[in-house]
Structure 1
Amino acid sequence: MELMFTNLQLTGTLPPEPPRYAFAERVAAVAEAGATGIGVTAAELDGIPDGATHQLLDGHGVRIVELEAMFGWFDGDTAPEEALFRLAETYRVPRIKTAVLLIPPAGAPDPDVLAERFAGLCDRAAAHGTAVALEPVVVLPGFGHAAAHDLIRTVDRPNAGLMFDAWHVFRDPSGPSVAETVAARHVAGLELTDGLATPGPDLMDDCVNRRMLPGDGEFDLAGLLRTLRATGAEVPLSVEVLSAELRELTPREHAARVVAAVTKVLEA
């Protein structure tokens, strides 16, 4: 199955805690479950010799599909980029994920400045042979799907697109409409996850602890996938079910349950 597990899916922890399970164990679990891709942070990957990582990935038939995460560019800080770009070249990683995280009381940067800085990021990424996936993070205020879509269209770089995380799509009033109107060239992928139609009183807790396996909740995941595919985009599929319950499972058990759930959604 052409399915990618995001970095947080199998670590057994949430930042800033280090992963409970080693990268090698997670790669093996992804392969055993029948998936082909995994995401990882630059910090973790930097701690493993290149040769050992190549041997691990090749031995399991798994690719690093995504590096997390590129922050700081929207404030003008490009220093963290060097490590990510080097790793993207070394492992031929097709995309680096980023977001505009506006932690209160921070406000959104000037739109023209933001567009200039994002365009610069995309151009620097292109020089290293990788793309930039911009994910709206609506658990924080100020930069939902409408704002992210405006930025992507303004910059309109061939290596830049929106990453649609289903949790954020269905928690953002502008999410579904952006999915309906986005151009195929601006779709970086879809992260499958599920949840109740109405979140609990603590939105952050709902986001990082109470997501559900695809098909177990009330999100119209099949409809969202059909909508994005109707644009003509290929829509690479990832899974990001941030769940306190799933984090208690071993990577092997965790990955197997996820793939079984995703298979049912795709069949729908």
Structure 2
Amino acid sequence: MSVDILGAYWTTAGPVEIRTGREWSLFDWPDRCAEAKRVGMSGLGLWHTDLEHLLERYTLAEIKQIFDDNGLVHLELEFLNDWFVPRGDEKRAASDGQRDLLFDAAAALDAHHIKIGNLQRTPATIDRLTEAFGELCADAADRHAAPLTYELMPFDVNAASLEAVLQIVGGAGAPNGGIAIDTWHLGKMAISPDDLRAIPRHLLTYVELSDGMQENMPDHTHETTRFRRLPGEGEFDIPGYVRALADLGYAGPWGVEVLSDALRALPLPEMFRRTVETSTAQIEKGLKA
């Protein structure tokens, strides 16, 4: 069975310091792309700070050429915060600069999607988020072909439920707007595979696999950035999620986003190999169910 695996940025970046220091990867882009090809991945992800770092050495055209030369086809870009903050606020000014970076890259790199959300935990109403998401999607449609995916997360202070995110994305009604589903977040939010059947197919844009433990650690941010597990190595029903999402019509790629100190400590070849092996086994198990 052929399975499209997209190695998300945090899964393939190696020893980075998420939210506390250097977020750009010490692994050069050609090395990441070559290793992805070797282990059979169909794509990779780029975080905005890593993209900024790469652009100190490569042009967008060169980043795209390296990606293409290795036979990779799916490229994820992330992450845009504070896109809903009113203009004139310093948070919005920083967000707009980040938007330009990601939108320009999406056009040049033919990105599969751009992931957005609220990692900064900035408060806003559902009505404001819905309006702003529609505005953001309209701007994106004028600048590139990549859809925007709102990521469902338990620590989103505005939309910490599947229903809320569907209300925002569905209410905006943008043809290039959808949701991103991450199984780690689903497990932590006690969202079952059957619960996912409430998602309209046209809003299901991207899926990420990540395993973990049912019991929460005291510090949620600490847990989500350092102690996730590869698919099949935790307690979440990864095959069940895969089956439910496939039944909805999702056809991939299957992103793998495992933020883990243990994974980051591995040599690059072993990191990529284990990502593909564990994920493929769980996806195949789910699709055969």
- The alignment's TM-score, normalised by the length of structure 1, stands at 0.91
Letter in 1 for 2:148: V
Aligned-residue offset at 1:227:
1.1
The count of corresponding residues between Structure 1 and Structure 2 is 265
Letter in 2 for 1:153: G
4+ residue stretches of structure 1 with deviation over 4 A?
174-178
5 Å matches for 1:224-235? Answer: 224-235=241-252
User: Contact (CA 8 Å) 2:125, 2:158: kept in 1 or not?
Assistant: no
1:233–1:140 CA distance, 2 compared to 1 (3 A) = closer
Which piece of structure 1 moves more, 147-156 or 17-26? 17-26
Letter in 2 for 1:8: W
User: Contact (CA 8 Å) 1:212, 1:243: kept in 2 or not?
Assistant: yes
Query: Is 1:131 the equivalent of 2:147?
Result: yes
User: Contact (CA 8 Å) 2:82, 2:120: kept in 1 or not?
Assistant: no
User: Contact (CA 8 Å) 1:167, 1:193: kept in 2 or not?
Assistant: yes
Unmatched 5+ stretches in structure 1: none
1:232–1:138 CA distance, 2 compared to 1 (3 A) = same
Alignment counterpart, residue 22 of structure 1, candidates 22, 28, 52? 28
Query: Is 1:163 the equivalent of 2:173?
Result: no
Unmatched 5+ stretches in structure 2: 87-91
What residue in structure 2 maps to residue 245 of structure 1? Answer: 262
User: Contact (CA 8 Å) 1:102, 1:142: kept in 2 or not?
Assistant: no
Query: Is 1:86 the equivalent of 2:104?
Result: yes
Letter in 2 for 1:14: E
Aligned-residue offset at 1:101:
3.0
Aligned-residue offset at 1:58:
2.3
What residue in structure 1 maps to residue 85 of structure 2? Answer: 75
What residue in structure 1 maps to residue 115 of structure 2? Answer: 97
Letter in 2 for 1:70: L
Secondary structure of the residue aligned to 1:73 is coil
Aligned-residue offset at 1:86:
1.3
Alpha-carbon RMSD across the aligned residues, in angstroms, is 1.9
Distance in structure 2 (CA, Å) of the matches to 1:36 and 1:85: 22
Distance in structure 1 (CA, Å) of the matches to 2:64 and 2:167: 38
Query: Is 1:34 the equivalent of 2:40?
Result: yes
Query: Is 1:147 the equivalent of 2:164?
Result: yes
1:176–1:154 CA distance, 2 compared to 1 (3 A) = farther
Query: Is 1:44 the equivalent of 2:47?
Result: no
Aligned-residue offset at 1:93:
1.0
What residue in structure 2 maps to residue 189 of structure 1? Answer: 206
Aligned-residue offset at 1:150:
1.3
Letter in 2 for 1:49: T
Distance in structure 2 (CA, Å) of the matches to 1:11 and 1:3: 16
Aligned-residue offset at 1:174:
4.9
Identity of aligned residues (%): 27
User: Contact (CA 8 Å) 2:61, 2:109: kept in 1 or not?
Assistant: no
